[in-house]
Structure 1
């Protein structure tokens, strides 16, 4: 929060209560909505999606850096997805011990064996960062992860700027309200989907349907040209909202449905190789010396831009290098984060729990299911986190900045490659891990400083 707001507003209890009530009403008016956890499948009851009362200050330079590097990350993910040898080598140790990643990799291998039917590639991803505090007081942008699967909150983050502008105006902070950036990732995401649909060859209006894996298993089929049909209708684009966690696959039929879709000509977002390109193990391998140069052989400036965002990443493969990583982690566990090959938040391991996991798997292949990463140390700020049924109290908060990227490739021709918006999420500093969906973080907006 900007210093002026802190001094003028933060400790005025009556004003805070008034602003919180106004903010919740404005969120409802702007469509910043979610279903309630008691009835998650019902559209009859809804509440505001959790968000911060005030925007959080973000240095302009690092914000612009995150947006500028996004198209290079788009290119990198796409290049990795087209390099089966790199994926095979990078994930060999992981698939040996992680059954979920292994099952995904077997689908990938089957598609390679049959030959890809899909000639159009649609990528929707989000690269997430924290601002690591340097000793001189400045901040550097460090990537937490890149999400190549179900990169969420493009819709809600398109509506939150108007909420914070309204709150700041009510609080008498007109100048700050004018510094809340327009942000509409939803439009960019939709434009990419529409481009993929158009290239597939569809000519009518774009109908959309939401189906579960079991629906696809029961009513899905491929014709002799490997066109995908579900309930008798041809499918041009498959956007996966879930399928990134083991619990998303409740039966063998769910896995069969995923394979059916992957074998089809339909544009998949992501396709199986792009899904694997977003794994933590690939993130760690990319940080090795010389690896980025393989994908950008004649573009040293691109390599420099991407590498500048890397935090320290370390292998836990068996051998001297992995043994050194284990020793590092056990000697100073609070300096690191232990990451399994999982998405969706709430999976990372911190502090003494790192020691427990690594002591138990010190000389075992089990440790190769994880990577180790330097813990990023952002500066805390004070804010109010507005959540349904939660008390209105001031909290020390940490924020995470995401940049949305989209790309569409047809054969070898990259027809779209853009950064289409941003996402700021904020949580109380008492929580080490977890996002909005996990009930920990809330939506926010950057106030550039």
Structure 2
């Protein structure tokens, strides 16, 4: 499968003309046939007897998932669900940018740009877009971009696409859409890109809402004063660094070494992604207790048909090799944090966060993990509404 066959619509975006064009996701039949053929020819490793998830993705589970992907999963049904929302393409800073733009019927709705992370996509937000746009006092016009290098925003064309440059592209997008004032929301890289957006454009960002916030103790903090929750957070981060950070080191140092395999092998791609959905969610070790197979495979298939696994991984490399012009600056925009208890990458400490953010809203959620919009969509929507309610008229 060639990249051009996987993403033919990218050529329809003129370089630098600044227009916004309606876009329809239409993956060629040949790409889907090629996917099924590759799955049928997968070479499977032979794990040590008794090995489950402790050494990585469980082979027995992955074989079942890929068998369903080959013979049972219907991409066209989920493609139609994505196309049920208005999709658009534009080009910003010499980079195609795909986004969903779903306007509320309420003319007074607050624009809200919602950003995904890795290994997610715009498919994460399919259960929250409708509720967020419902007419009423808490209505939003939702803009949901595929970050540059992800999905139909295509592989990045040049180096330098770190979080700050992505935030600049989102600011330009909102300007093109005519939104002078808006909210920003995100998790994972979406939270970091949204933070950069809030730092760089505080007069335009009405509020920043995140479901991942990374903040640690300062050099003068006395460990004896840490709360039990703070100690648990630090222990979890140490565990993450010891047992769970291999993906981060690889993608931050040699993303293309990994990327060649991810773009060539659908089984390899599924293994790389599904392990994170299991490990980072509130699933108790059973990934399908939180996500259906179709939900998992829609997100994975999105990476496959666009040929963007290598480019998405490159964001870690760019972040490690670029410095934001606003690095170290405190976020003065009102900030809300929804902390989901199974989130392994963030911190539950409001006092640490307040040193870096103007925290005006904090919610300790009863359940859920890293993929909040998929795991606990109603709770996330309610928290977003509550946070932005006092900010709408300012």
**TM-score of the superposition, structure 2-length normalised?**
0.26
Structure 1 length-normalised TM: 0.24
Compare the two structures and name the one with the higher helix fraction: 2
Which structure's CA Rg is the greater one? 1
